[in-house]
Amino acid sequence: MKVKAIPSAWMRLDGRRLDCGPYMSGALEAKIRLEELACQKQRLEDLTTGHDGGIYNGPQFVRNFVDDPAHGVPFLGTASMLRADLSELPLLSKRDAYTPKLSYLRIEPGMTLISCSGTIGRMVYARPDMEGMWSNQDILKVVPNPNRVPPGYLYAFLSSKFGVPLVTSGTYGGIIQHIEPQHIAGLPVPRLANEIEERAHRLMEEAGRLRSDGAELIARTVADLVNELGLAFEGVRSVSQFCVNSTASTQLNYRLDAPYHSHDAKQADAILAASPARSAPLSDVVQRYFKPPMFKRLWVDDPAYGRQFISGVDAYRYQAESIRYVSNKTPKFDEFILEEGMVIFQAAGQIYGLFGQPLLVSGWLSGLFAADDLYRLQPNNQADGGYLYAFFKTKVGQVLLKRQACGNSIPRVWDPHIRDMRVPWPDEAVRKRLGTQIVDAHVKIERGRQAEVEAVALVERTIEEAP
């Protein structure tokens, strides 16, 4: 619970609203600071263009998904839009996507995407690799008019500590919070010096380009791995979907759970066996494989006495949802710290979600205290880590990981499951070439993240220091 005393004059400034949102979010402070600025301020709606004036979300609709990319378009939700990796999005049927009712939900580079239902105010700058994706009705689009405002600058302001409180101050609803286009249409946008706005825009464009280039390099590398090692896997569904299969008693491997012996799991085994590359138990090709124990969260306010914490979901984003610190007195503290080059994946939860999706620890993830639900693989070298990441991104790799899960309510992966799991292990030269490309891709992605941080910091610093 938060407690805050405000002057009664603030209530007059905000239309005599009696709910806490505008006063606890920092929106009034942001408005006052913007009013103090000598520069011109323009209404957000005057800087946008396109459908419904350039600020819109969409209607509720029945979502018909398909498996074949030839018949579908990648579909973004408020959670998935925040992910660093957008390669595993569900596919919305093209038959629905291109109808007049939904066609305007197509994403174009330069848009600012804002979550407008549930957790309000999460923002993403639409980058080149998002072009041609569709969004759900809970994503609010702000389409800047490039003749009136640099798109990158508009995003940097809206996502700053001055913009976010103004966006979220219009929130309404008791259980499920919402904002609508009209709630932010009049939001004041300060017009800073041209060089500041252009520099912020260039940084955001660079951020989008680097992230897209990194994603493209990862996709190419995974495709190369599949082709070179003969791991093409057609018609894959999910190890959790209904199927009928039989297994010899000698092949049970002490596992009686159905997903482990599903049709897709057996097919993945057969593809791995037929690969020209030899295979090896995962435990033989890494330094260490482990999942930290469950732990009691001992929070501290000062980073000098702890380490920044990230949840399993946070790890798949470019930054944590909120900044929190876990005490360095936590038992087995060092076991939870992510090290550069580790390969990690979500090892608890429903296997149709983030479960089993690999991450290569680099950039902002290095040195953070990560939740115990993230499984850790410590490779022998950086290139091997990149190679393992690429393999686990393939359909065969995903099936082999997901089949290891056990448990009904919350499926989990444990050390004995990983110990005997087999992976293709080609010659060192092949692993080094593929793995190095993955490492290079993550360097690009991290540089993109840093460019966005710099753009937002530039706008915030300019507003704070302006007379």
Output the pLDDT for position 24: 56
User: What is the β-pairing status of strands 343-346 and 358-360?
Assistant: antiparallel
- Measured distance CA(57)–CA(61) in Å, rounded: 12
> For the whole model, what pTM was predicted?
0.90
**Are the C-beta atoms of 145 and 48 separated by less than 8 Å?**
yes
Task: Provide the pLDDT confidence category of residue 254 given band limits of 50, 70 and 90.
Answer: confident
What CATH class has 232-274+278-425? alpha beta
**Are the C-beta atoms of 107 and 135 separated by less than 8 Å?**
yes
DSSP 111: P
Mean pLDDT on 347-358: 89
Output the pLDDT for position 243: 82
Q: Which residues of 32-159 form beta strands (DSSP E)? A: 41-43, 55-56, 65-66, 72-76, 91-93, 112-115, 123-125, 134-135, 139-142
Q: What is the CATH number of domain 36-206+451-465?
A: 3.90.220.20
What is the identity of the amino acid at 234?
A: E
Encoded tokens for 239 = 């190890």
- Measured distance CA(296)–CA(116) in Å, rounded: 33
Instruction: Examine domains 36-206+451-465 and 232-274+278-425 and report if their fold is the same.
Output: yes
Mean pLDDT on 417-442: 96
Encoded tokens for 227 = 């082709």
Q: What is the pLDDT of residues 31-79, one digit of tens each?
A: 888 888 889 999 999 999 999 999 999 898 999 999 889 999 999 999 8
Task: Kindly report which listed range (63-67, 257-261, 306-310) carries the lowest average pLDDT score.
Answer: 257-261
**Are the C-beta atoms of 442 and 214 separated by less than 8 Å?**
yes
**What is the overall mean pLDDT for the chain?**
91
Task: Provide the pLDDT confidence category of residue 321 given band limits of 50, 70 and 90.
Answer: confident
Helices (H) and strands (E) in the chain, counts: 14, 20
- Domain ranges in the chain? 36-206+451-465, 232-274+278-425
DSSP 114: E
DSSP 230: T
pLDDT at residue 4 is higher than 80: no
Task: Provide the pLDDT confidence category of residue 307 given band limits of 50, 70 and 90.
Answer: very high
Return the SS3 of 104: helix
- Give the C-alpha distances (Å, rounded to integers) separating 417 from 206, 257, 286, 343: 42, 13, 15, 16
CB hemisphere CA count around 1 (13 angstroms): 1
Cβ-based burial of 384 (10 A; exposed 0-12, middle 13-18, buried ≥19): buried
pLDDT at residue 12 is higher than 80: no
Q: What is the pLDDT of residues 85-104, one digit of tens each?
A: 898 899 999 999 999 999 99
- Measured distance CA(254)–CA(49) in Å, rounded: 61
- Give the C-alpha distances (Å, rounded to integers) separating 453 from 98, 212, 406, 458: 35, 17, 40, 9
CB hemisphere CA count around 348 (13 angstroms): 17
Encoded tokens for 437 = 């490309």
CB hemisphere CA count around 68 (13 angstroms): 5
